[in-house]
Amino acid sequence: MDKERKLIIAGNWKCNKTVAEALDLVTGLKRELAAVKEVDVVVCPPFTALESVSRAILDSNIRLGAQNFGENGYGAFTGEIAAGMLKEFSVGYVILGHSERRQYQKENDALIAKKAAAAHAANLVPIVCVGETLLEREAGITNQVVETQVRGSLAGLSPEQVERTVLAYEPVWAIGTGKTATSAQAQEVHAFIRGVLTALHGEAVAKRVRIQYGGSVKANNARELLGQPDIDGALVGGAALEVRSFADIIKNSI
């Protein structure tokens, strides 16, 4: 697949995998994906497996991401993980504003924007998630919701920082449900998001931002989704937990 932007496919392991299971999974991925150069491959294990996974992928083309971090850095913030702690394990990416955190931890756009700025300051690439619920889609307000999230979550970032940010469009109704947005539905929102980025920072910046799709991405729908002009990768949940399915998503997208 020949695209203007390099594809980025990330596995969001969510709250899954012991250290031993994590090592099994990355060892298999390393073997399967050793020859892949066309796609940026990222795995995002839970915090507890970052150190071992980081060692296991040292000599590979797989990069490491975290699923969240504490935007205030080191200090009296019980339960938080600072960016500096992630950097110790060569973490390069951090998922921010996932709909599960928006829902269960009540994260909002203002907090996500603060985290995105702190991530850039620490040289971590934020993967900022946006997406509408089923109710919002049925009410015909998908674009409105997504625009508010994009503008709010990127507020205060410089054009250079926005350019290095990865966005992930994840319709909430497609996450873990087996219901994927059709490639046309996804492309429509991705193009809309790129339009919002153009309005914010101009076409040159908007053209460089990679926008992933997430929500029930599997080996059998990856090619069609990633073949769309404004879809630049995938954020994969369930199918990223097994070597075969995650490796096949990547191979099928090349």
Query: Contact positions toward ligand 13P, by CB under 6 A?
Result: 12, 98, 170, 175-176, 214-217, 235-239
* Shortest CB 172 distance to ligand 13P, Å: 9
**For residues 93 and 201, which CB has a smaller minimum distance to ligand 13P in the complex?**
93
* Shortest CB 235 distance to ligand 13P, Å: 4
Distance of CA 109 to the CA centre of its chain: 16
Cα separation of the two ends of the chain: 5
Q: Which tokens in the block code for residue 121?
A: 């300051």
**For residues 67 and 187, which CB has a smaller minimum distance to ligand 13P in the complex?**
67
**For residues 98 and 190, which CB has a smaller minimum distance to ligand 13P in the complex?**
98
H helices of 38-168, in order, are: 50-56, 83-87, 99-104, 109-121, 134-138, 142-153, 159-164
**For residues 12 and 161, which CB has a smaller minimum distance to ligand 13P in the complex?**
12
**For residues 71 and 170, which CB has a smaller minimum distance to ligand 13P in the complex?**
170
DSSP string, 162-222: HHHPEEEE--GGGTTSS-PPPHHHHHHHHHHHHHHHHHHH-HHHHHH-EEEEESS--HHHH
Rounded Cα distance between 110 and 104, Å, is 16
Rounded Cα distance between 190 and 234, Å, is 12
* Shortest CB 253 distance to ligand 13P, Å: 14
CB atoms within 10 A of CB 48: 11
Catalytic residues, which ones? 98, 170
* Shortest CB 214 distance to ligand 13P, Å: 4
Rounded Cα distance between 213 and 187, Å, is 9
Quick one: CA dihedral 116, 99, 176, 1, positive or negative? negative
CB atoms within 10 A of CB 183: 17
Nearest residue to ligand 13P on Cβ basis: 237
Q: Which tokens in the block code for residue 166?
A: 């990865």
* Shortest CB 5 distance to ligand 13P, Å: 19
What separation in angstroms does the CA of 70 have from each of 116, 126, 220? 11, 13, 36
* Shortest CB 8 distance to ligand 13P, Å: 13
**For residues 153 and 216, which CB has a smaller minimum distance to ligand 13P in the complex?**
216
